[in-house]
């Protein structure tokens, strides 16, 4: 089961409750290659719509990148590049992603992939002067938006 299917199921069936007023900032989404193009090619379904829907249940203002979905650019750390010694090339690769993100004007970026999140949060932000950008996992955003019965009420 994909993380997207599970989170969507929780939200749609009311098993979890979310408060989007916790995230008023303009937010964008990064399509990981594995959940998008490669999932589409391998399993016949690319996860493009589900994560965008989930994000929009957690934030008030959403903006997409250009290009998007199947035509979106890789963060630059795919294929194991995050764990390879070619840091200079990895950062150079990421310049395209950085431009896409900056062009949206978003203050927060959501990524449902460990590699993508680390590349953007721990490397590209520093290298390309965008430390003001907040980067979260998709499930981190959901966890931060939760209203838990008996705990928050």
Partner 1 sequence: MQSEPLVLSKREKRKLAGEYPDLCLTCGTCAGGCPVTGVDGMDMRKAVRMALLGLDQELIDSRFPWICTLCARCEHGCPMSIDLLKMMRSARTHRERDKVPGVLHKGVVQCLKSGNNVGIPKEDYLFLLEDLGVELAEELPGFRVPVDDKGARILVTINSKEPFAEPEDMFFWWKIFYAAKESWTTTSENWEGVNWGLFTGDDESMKEVVRRIVEHYKSLECEYLLLPE
Least distance in angstroms from the C-beta of 84 to partner 1? 4
Return the ∠ at Cα 49 (arms to 34 and 149), rounded to 5°.
100
Contact predicate 59/23, CB 8 Å:
yes
Q: How far is the CB of 107 from partner 1 (least distance, A)?
A: 20
Q: Which residues bind partner 1 (CB under 8 A)?
A: 1, 3, 6-7, 10, 15-17, 33-34, 37-38, 41, 70-71, 73-74, 76-81, 83-86, 89, 92-96, 113-114, 137, 139-140, 142-144, 146, 148-151
Q: How do strand 134-137 and strand 108-111 relate by DSSP bridges? A: parallel
Query: In the complex, what is the shortest distance from the CB of residue 80 to partner 1, in angstroms, rounded to a whole number?
Result: 3
Q: Smaller CB distance to partner 1: residue 88 or 132? A: 88
Q: How far is the C-alpha of 65 from the C-alpha of 11, rounded, in Å?
A: 24
Contact (Cβ atoms closer than 8 angstroms) between residue 7 and residue 139: yes
20 vs 95 by CB, closer to partner 1? 95
d(CA 59, CA 61): 6
CB of 78 to partner 1, least distance (A): 3
**In the complex with partner 1, which residue's Cβ is closer, 46 or 62?**
46
Compute the distance between CA of residue 66 and CA of residue 75 in angstroms, rounded to an integer: 14
Residue whose CB is less far from partner 1, 24 or 79: 79
């Amino acid at each position: 089961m994909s993380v997207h299917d599970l989170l969507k199921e929780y939200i749609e069936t009311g098993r979890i409750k979310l408060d989007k007023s916790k995230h008023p900032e303009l937010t964008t989404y990064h399509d990981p290659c594995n959940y998008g193009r490669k999932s589409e090619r391998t399993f016949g379904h690319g996860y493009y719509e589900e994560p965008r829907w989930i994000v929009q249940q957690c934030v008030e203002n959403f903006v997409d990148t250009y290009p998007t979905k199947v035509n979106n650019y890789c963060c630059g750390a795919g294929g194991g590049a995050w764990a390879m010694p070619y840091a200079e090339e990895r950062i150079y690769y990421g310049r395209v992603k950085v431009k896409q993100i900056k062009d949206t004007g978003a203050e927060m970026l959501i990524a449902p992939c460990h590699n993508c999140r680390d590349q953007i949060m721990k490397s590209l932000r520093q290298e390309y002067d965008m430390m003001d950008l907040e980067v979260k996992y998709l499930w981190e955003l959901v966890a931060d938006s939760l209203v838990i019965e008996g705990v928050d009420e």
